[in-house]
Chains A and B, each alone.
Chain A
Amino acid sequence: MNGITIILLLAVGLGYFFYQKYRGLLNGDGDSNMGIGRAIRRKMENRVSNTRQQQSSPTPYQAGALNREPARYVPPASATNRPGRPLVPASRENITEMGPMIYFANNRHGSSDKEYRFNYKKVGDSWRAYIIRTPGWRGRDSGLAITHRLHDTQGHYVCWDRPVNTLKDMQTISRIWADSIQEYIATGKRFG
């Protein structure tokens, strides 16, 4: 018996051996001997089934979102100038500008226009009320001295005889000024 014959016999023997051992896999008999094809197919089916199951059930986040109370602060699109504003109001101690602010002056004489607008700015240690809008002067002398206004590079602002330390005080002063101007426009009565 030469070498080639021996090799052939070995190959046949090994083939027969492995055939007997793994015959179940190929035929798909029983769980322990499931065919490779069927086993893989079952795994794939399970994976798909699990995925579908996950999609149908709401995630904790989604469930939480559905049950969440409507946010108390829903910034309207208009509030783009206040991005990320916290619900807790920030301290106002460091504010150096506020406005424009609208004020409707006391209107004892029924004028059709009584709208004033101010922009408040802190200049140095004092607040100023820059005048953005007044009603028309209706022919009255609109000189700065008569109307108690001052002027700088940022525009006209309300004249006051001393520094104004707080924004609240300046807002009060601007109200008084607007009421006086409204009276002046209606009657010509000067003030200050």
Chain B
Amino acid sequence: MIDFVRGTDQQYEDLKAMLEDNLCHVFKNCMLPPGCSRTSGRIGFEKEGDTYALFIDKGITCSNRRASSLFRDWIAEGTLRFLDYTDMKEFLRSLNCLY
């Protein structure tokens, strides 16, 4: 996950291009932030029409006090959906405070 959290604009553009096939792209062994019940997990991305979905393995909990409510919702539900790609990118980058 840290790779996405600290990804460059170019890397995000590459990811966006990858998602144009409307398939779910899963990245395994993503390092989760400290305080999570697991050290690594799977993260998935998918473009759904004009919106974007962000997946994570279910069953992960986080005791990190700096975790936002949106991050906690994400690991609780396993899915977040964003109106825009920039919103998803912004959310992932906001997780930098957890590392």
Contact = CB atoms under 8 A, between A and B. Distances in A.
Contacts, number: 81
The 3 closest A-B pairs by CB, nearest first: A78-B78, A103-B83, A77-B58
A115 B23 contact: no
A74 B30 CA distance: 14
Given A73-B26, A102-B91, A80 B70 contact: no
B40 to A, nearest CB: 13
Contacts of A81: 79
A168 B26 CA distance: 26
14 contacts: A75-B24, A76-B26, A76-B44, A77-B57, A78-B56, A78-B57, A80-B78, A89-B22, A102-B83, A103-B87, A104-B87, A115-B70, A118-B83, A168-B50
A78 B48 CA distance: 16
Query: Which size bracket describes the interface of B in this complex?
Result: 20 to 34
Interface residues of A, number: 28
Contact of B55 (A76, A87, A89): A76
Contact of A78 (B25, B79, B84): B79
B2 to A, nearest CB: 18
A91 B72 CA distance: 31
B78 A76 contact: yes
A97 to B, nearest CB: 12
Contact of A79 (B22, B49, B78): B78
Contacts of B64: none
Contacts of A80: 58, 78
Interface in A61-111: 72-81, 85, 87, 89, 92, 98-104
B90 interface: yes
